[in-house]
Amino acid sequence: MSYLNRQSVREESGFQDVQTEAMAGAVDGSNQTFAVSHRPFVDRNYDNEVTSSDFVVMFDGVPTTIDSFEKDLGTVVTHTAPAEGVEVSIEYASSALPDSYIDELITEAEAIVNTSLKKFITTPLSPDDIDNYSTARRIALFYASGFALIRDYGKNTDDQESAKDGYAKLDQAKKMLADLMSSIQDNGDSSNSGGEAKTVSEGHIFRHGTPDTRSHDWFMRKRP
């Protein structure tokens, strides 16, 4: 089970956008369906799910009840129809990075950390284990957010500064991982100690049949 959550990766990489805006839809006393301008809705309370608690719809600034919503369409159905002239607004979070893509980044980042640490501690780390190795979670977060920033995706397309930030996060993650392994080894916190602590090359994590020695940069830039 993963120990990173999608919201943390989006926030660390700058892909979590909180919006406050007027909603599209007729305000005529009968319509109850309204839409946002940025979609999909994404998680805002770190539970890895999108529920009605992740956004607030307001009639003239007063929160109102929601009957249903469509995450990917960015639409909501209010419990009552606002009267003509009422301002219908919403506070919510959106992202250019879909859940499925964030999950890929998390899987890859955690694989790097787990594979590198398996000589020293029991892996894969679970959400319960990670409380004892909070640094490992931070390292995985830097890997995942770094990968998000170096790929030409969404608003960061051809953004050299974002790519630079991404590679800086990857460099930081590599250093932190090496330091963590050395610390575990020096403290004897290992059932399999000895030898030199080396981080796993992240270009060798995903192997489909035969070893894949291509870099993460290639993996992140490839298209389906």
Query: What would the pLDDT profile of 49-70 be if each residue is shown by its tens digit?
Result: 999 999 999 999 999 999 999 9
pTM passes above 0.75: yes
**What tens digit of pLDDT does each residue of 125-179 get?**
877 776 667 889 999 999 999 999 987 554 444 556 777 889 999 999 999 999 9
* Long-range contacts from 169-178, C-beta under 8 angstroms, 24+ separation: 169/12, 169/142, 169/143, 169/145, 170/142, 170/143, 170/146, 170/202, 170/216, 172/142, 173/139, 173/140, 173/142, 173/143, 173/146, 174/199, 176/135, 176/138, 176/139, 176/142, 177/112, 177/113, 177/116, 177/139
